């Protein structure tokens, strides 16, 4: 028995999410080094091989095919990002030819009744701004405002949903704390907070600019939320000791990572909805000698010590191929947290990212334990583990909706296998497999599974 279909609310948005630099591969950008990431990719050791040297998955040349894939998925929404570096070449200089690519994308989506969710920046900065201090320099926020004005002029009447920033918290972590992404600073907290301010200012400028052009626009940003939990039991520890060593570092991190940027936008009265990107859970233990997990040669007092759940609890913790714990309950937890509810008041939530990564021939324990023993892990085409991942996370979303959380959409990350930043091309998050040489697209099993969910506006609990 498969059981009845668990329905989602009417007009729920079903979509996928992508980002310009991870898919487009426009030669002008990667050869012309227009962005910080097109330069970063060429610095020895910064990006794992294969990196495809910025060609990503050649979406620029496959636009029509990719739109067909979006349509055949029965999606009624699609999240993409603009390529700031290609569109904005210098103060007051905008590239109208590049704009045509987005005009074409947006018009085709709208003609198929697919709601565009537009992200203004997804991590990547134009080189001319990065060279002058990036987000630490208020000029970047000002230029972001000018860029938004340009976009609003062309699209404010076509695009209702705007995502100003993607994961400012992850950007700051990786750019100013661990230093594994541009601008590459390690534990530079002064810079971190200067850049933080730049991001907030940029958000506010974009918010007011879009509203001036279209007061009905809905504007938010996409926040990465981790489920922070302490793993050690109370067992032989006094409550006080436990709080100090286990609960507090998690509370501290949760505040900075999950909530701080939301609070900043709310203080400026500049948030209509929250985008939630959810992948995994983390646990921290206080340790004055802690090393940054992403960069062990560096002390990281704020992080405390990351507890390696997969190592300590191999029987309980299932991981994807990147060793990220797969923890669907965490999505329910972050969505129903009282603090989030109090902060957002009546603002809706969209799940703007959630996805599963496979690496060929290196399945994580989640995949290994969830499929038949003869599974071929070399291709990631018969990916029933990804379908199960989607189902389990959607059950968490459904539960949260039933408990009163106003969630209005879900965007799977990602439509296509793509360029996964410092990890290069190996991690595959797509519903559609992409051959890295020929760029041939092949829908995976999970693509068809997700298409059914979107068609039915719901799923069966025991569908896999
Ligand atoms: C998120 C990013 C997205 C992608 C996924 C796997 O943090 O927003 O670009 O890299 O992780």
Q: Detail the DSSP E strand segments found in 238-356.
A: 273-282, 284-285, 291-292, 295-299, 305-306, 349-353
pLDDT band at 235 (very low <50, low <70, confident <90, very high): very low
CA–centroid distance, 123 to ligand 1, in Å, is: 10
* Catalytic (active site) residue 28: no
pLDDT at residue 371, rounded to an integer: 64
CA–centroid distance, 239 to ligand 1, in Å, is: 37
For the cut 70, the answer to whether the pLDDT of residue 392 exceeds it is: yes
Could you tell which of 413, 419, 424, 430 is best to mutate to test the pocket of ligand 1, judged by most ligand atoms within 8 Å of the CB?
A: 413
Give the total number of structural domains in the chain: 1
CA-nearest of 327, 369, 360, 353 to 428 is 360
Q: Closest ligand 1 atom, CA of 224?
A: 7
pLDDT at residue 229, rounded to an integer: 83
Closest residue to atom 4 of ligand 1, CA basis: 420
pLDDT band at 345 (very low <50, low <70, confident <90, very high): very high
Asked if 379 and 436 count as a contact pair (C-beta separation under 8 A), the reply is no
CA-nearest of 257, 269, 411 to 334 is 257
Asked if 427 and 356 count as a contact pair (C-beta separation under 8 A), the reply is no
Residue 52 makes CB contacts below 8 A (sequence gap 6+) with: 25, 419, 424, 425, 436
Give the residue numbers spanning the domain of 316.
5-460
Cα gap 111→64, rounded to integer Å:
13
For the cut 70, the answer to whether the pLDDT of residue 245 exceeds it is: no
Q: Which of 24, 115, 143, 167 is catalytic?
A: 167
Does ligand 1 have an atom closer than 6 angstroms to the CB of 277? yes
Return the structure tokens found at 201: 């200012």
Return the structure tokens found at 168: 């400012």
Q: Which residue has the tokens 């998690």?
A: 250
Cα gap 416→446, rounded to integer Å:
12
pLDDT tens figures, 102-138: 999 999 999 999 999 999 999 999 999 999 999 999 9
pLDDT at residue 37, rounded to an integer: 98
Return the structure tokens found at 177: 């704390």
454 to each of 70, 266, 273, how far by Cα in Å? 11, 32, 22
CA–centroid distance, 38 to ligand 1, in Å, is: 17
What DSSP string describes 349-392?
Answer: EEEEE----B-TT---HHHHTTS-TT---SS--S-HHHHHHHHH
CA–centroid distance, 19 to ligand 1, in Å, is: 9
366 versus 462: the higher-pLDDT residue is 366
CA-nearest of 301, 277, 398, 288 to 12 is 398
Section 281-293 average pLDDT: 73
Section 220-226 average pLDDT: 98
180 to each of 174, 301, 412, how far by Cα in Å? 5, 18, 25
CA-nearest of 391, 408, 407 to 445 is 391
Does ligand 1 have an atom closer than 6 angstroms to the CB of 352? no
Asked if 71 and 64 count as a contact pair (C-beta separation under 8 A), the reply is no
pLDDT band at 338 (very low <50, low <70, confident <90, very high): very high
pLDDT tens figures, 53-92: 999 999 999 999 999 999 999 999 999 999 999 999 999 9
Does ligand 1 have an atom closer than 6 angstroms to the CB of 224? yes
Stated pTM of the model: 0.95
User: Residue 338 is part of a domain; what is its CATH number?
Assistant: 3.20.20.80
User: Parallel, antiparallel, or unpaired for β 458-460 and 5-7?
Assistant: antiparallel
The share of the chain scoring above pLDDT 90, in percent, equals 80
Does ligand 1 have an atom closer than 6 angstroms to the CB of 421? yes
CA–centroid distance, 458 to ligand 1, in Å, is: 25
pLDDT at residue 325, rounded to an integer: 92
Mean predicted lDDT score pLDDT of the chain: 92
């Amino acid at each position: 028995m498969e059981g009845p279909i668990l329905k989602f609310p009417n007009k729920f948005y079903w979509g996928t999410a992508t980002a310009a630099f991870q898919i487009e591969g426009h030669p002008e950008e990667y050869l012309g080094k227009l962005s910080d990431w097109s330069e970063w990719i060429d610095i020895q050791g910064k990006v794992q091989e294969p990196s495809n040297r910025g060609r990503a998955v050649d979406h620029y040349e496959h636009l029509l095919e990719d739109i067909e894939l979006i349509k055949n998925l029965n999606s009624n929404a699609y999240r993409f990002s603009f390529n700031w570096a290609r569109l904005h070449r210098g103060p007051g200089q905008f590239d109208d030819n590049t704009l045509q690519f987005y005009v074409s994308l947006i018009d085709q989506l709208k003609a198929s009744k697919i709601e565009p969710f537009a992200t203004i920046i997804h991590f990547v900065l134009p080189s001319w701004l990065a060279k002058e201090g990036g987000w630490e320099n208020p000029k970047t926020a000002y230029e972001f405002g000018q860029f938004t004005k340009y976009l609003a002029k062309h699209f404010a009447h076509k695009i209702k949903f705007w995502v100003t920033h993607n994961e400012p918290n992850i950007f700051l972590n990786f750019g100013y704390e661990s230093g594994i992404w541009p601008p590459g600073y390690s534990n530079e907290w002064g810079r971190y907070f200067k850049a933080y301010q730049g991001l907030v200012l940029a958000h506010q400028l974009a918010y007011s600019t879009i509203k001036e052009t279209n007061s009905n626009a809905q504007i938010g940003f996409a926040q990465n939320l981790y489920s922070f939990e302490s793993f050690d039991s109370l067992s032989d520890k006094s409550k006080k000791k436990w709080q100090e060593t286990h609960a507090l570092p998690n509370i501290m991190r949760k505040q900075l990572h999950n909530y701080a940027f939301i609070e900043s936008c709310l203080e400026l009265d500049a948030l209509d909805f929250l985008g939630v990107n959810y992948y995994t859970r983390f646990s921290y233990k206080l340790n004055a000698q802690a090393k940054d997990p992403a960069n062990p040669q560096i002390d990281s007092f704020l992080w405390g010590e990351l507890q390696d759940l997969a190592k300590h609890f191999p029987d309980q913790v299932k991981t994807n191929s990147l060793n990220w714990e797969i923890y669907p309950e965490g999505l329910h937890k972050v969505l129903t947290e009282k603090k989030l509810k109090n902060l957002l008041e009546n603002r809706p939530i969209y799940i703007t990212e959630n996805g599963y990564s496979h690496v060929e021939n290196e399945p994580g324990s989640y995949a290994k334990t969830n499929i038949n023993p003869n599974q071929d892990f070399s291709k990631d085409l018969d990916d029933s583990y990804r379908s199960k991942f989607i189902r389990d996370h959607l059950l968490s979303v459904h539960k949260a909706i039933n408990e009163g959380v106003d969630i209005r959409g879900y965007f799977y990350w990602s439509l296509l296998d793509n360029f996964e930043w410092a990890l290069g091309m190996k991690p595959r998050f797509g519903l559609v497999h992409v051959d890295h040489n020929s760029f041939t697209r092949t829908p995976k099993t999970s693509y068809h599974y997700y298409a059914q969910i979107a068609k039915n506006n719901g799923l069966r609990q025991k569908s896999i």
